[in-house]
Amino acid sequence: MKYLKFIFVLSLLFSLSCSESNDDNQQLNPSETNLVIKLKFDPNQVRLGNLGQPVNVAPGNAAQSPSINRMSVNYIEFAPTSTTALGTGEIIYEGSETSAGGAQAIDFQNSIFAGNDDIFLTIPLSQVSAGTYEWVRVSLAYQEGDIELLVNGQDITGTLASFVGYNSYITSFDLNGNTIDVNGNRLQGFWAFEALGFTTQGQAPAGATTVPNPLFNTSPIPQGSCVVTGEFENVLTISGNETEDIVVTLSFSINNSFEWTEVNNDGKYEPAAGEQVVDMGLRGLIPMVSN
């Protein structure tokens, strides 16, 4: 009887082992080719204005390139041409949204995040229509990074959380171990800041966030949508017969993207001196294709 029990247990373990192995094979699915979306934050990339043209820091202002820790986007669309209207291209990603806070908003709690050179999204290429795409549109939702500031004559580092999406529903979020409770909707420009264990939050004026769109004349975007537009460095072509993954890296310019009004002309951000943040939007997008 003991011998039979041993055989039964052994058979059960073998069955479970085989089941797990089959599941793993199904999950890996090595024959499937994928579209992989990566994020990159480049402090040396050209600095653009809202119309997609190179711009300098405005007179009377100063700026710095933050160190972006993570970002979330809520919408990614491939556009075949410069005249493709927003929403009529190949939409490959739409983030979670909710009306829990009243008006429709990005559901921050269910957002996907990625850091520099990290993978944001992987989907089967079979889900993407074959074609040639020259442009990418990306609706930004959230960015979090470190900035330098001057407080009481001392240089310190603080962390800035910027909600740049059109509208975000937030219950709470963590900023360097500090819980920020919101429990409601916040329009584009809501921010929170942490330094030395202290936190503060606020709301930037409407329209204060730069959203570069080189296709302003042929394919405009709604005010406050934060849909950044960029032209492929090398055109994306999907045949539908790919045997290898296609990797698209979305390279965002953070070149002096954190900008403020100067009171003391020293190039350092000094909030205690009354220096006000005027912009924290990204400064351009260059999508690049590789295998």
Write the pLDDT tens digit of every residue in 259-282.
Answer: 999 999 999 999 889 998 888 889
More confident: 121 or 10: 121
Tokens found for residue 44? 């040396």
Band of the pLDDT at 207, cuts 50, 70, 90?
Answer: confident
Q: What is the mean pLDDT of residues 47-67?
A: 95
Q: Are 289 and 247 in contact, with CB atoms under 8 Å apart?
A: yes
* Whole-number pLDDT of residue 223: 80
**Which residue's structure tokens are 């209207």?**
85
Band of the pLDDT at 172, cuts 50, 70, 90?
Answer: very high
Q: What is the mean pLDDT of residues 78-89?
A: 96
Residues contacting residue 121 through CB under 8 Å, at least 6 positions apart? 35, 36, 37, 76, 92, 93, 112
Nearest to 48 by CA among 245, 238, 278, 211: 211
Q: Are 89 and 221 in contact, with CB atoms under 8 Å apart?
A: no
* Whole-number pLDDT of residue 30: 56
> For residue 42, is pLDDT > 70?
yes
Distance in angstroms (rounded) separating the CA atoms of residues 254 and 213: 16
**C-alpha distance from residue 231 to each of 169, 194, 245 (Å):** 30, 35, 21
> For residue 119, is pLDDT > 70?
yes
* Whole-number pLDDT of residue 6: 34
* Whole-number pLDDT of residue 158: 94
Q: Kindly state the greatest CA–CA separation across the chain.
A: 90
More confident: 28 or 6: 28
Could you tell me where the beta strands, DSSP code E, fall in the chain?
34-42, 61-64, 67-79, 90-94, 97-98, 105-107, 119-124, 131-151, 154-163, 167-175, 178-187, 190-195, 198-203, 227-238, 246-253, 258-261, 277-279, 285-290
Band of the pLDDT at 25, cuts 50, 70, 90?
Answer: very low
> For residue 15, is pLDDT > 60?
no
> For residue 67, is pLDDT > 70?
yes
Least confident of 25-39, 47-61, 276-290: 25-39
Question: Mean pLDDT over all residues of the chain?
Answer: 88
| pLDDT-above-90 percentage for the chain | 76
Model pTM? 0.86
Mapping DSSP onto H, E and C, the string for 136-196 reads EEEEEEEEEEEEEEEECCEEEEEEEEEECCCEEEEEEEEECCEEEEEEEEEECCEEEEEEC
Q: What is the mean pLDDT of residues 153-174?
A: 95
* Whole-number pLDDT of residue 204: 83
- Tens digit of pLDDT for each residue in 180-204? 999 999 999 899 999 998 999 988 8
Tokens found for residue 46? 């050209």
More confident: 183 or 14: 183
Band of the pLDDT at 226, cuts 50, 70, 90?
Answer: confident
Nearest to 165 by CA among 99, 107, 213, 91: 107
Least confident of 37-46, 194-203, 204-213: 204-213
Beta strands across the sheet bearing 246-253:
119-124, 34-42, 246-253, 285-290
> For residue 247, is pLDDT > 60?
yes
* Whole-number pLDDT of residue 33: 96
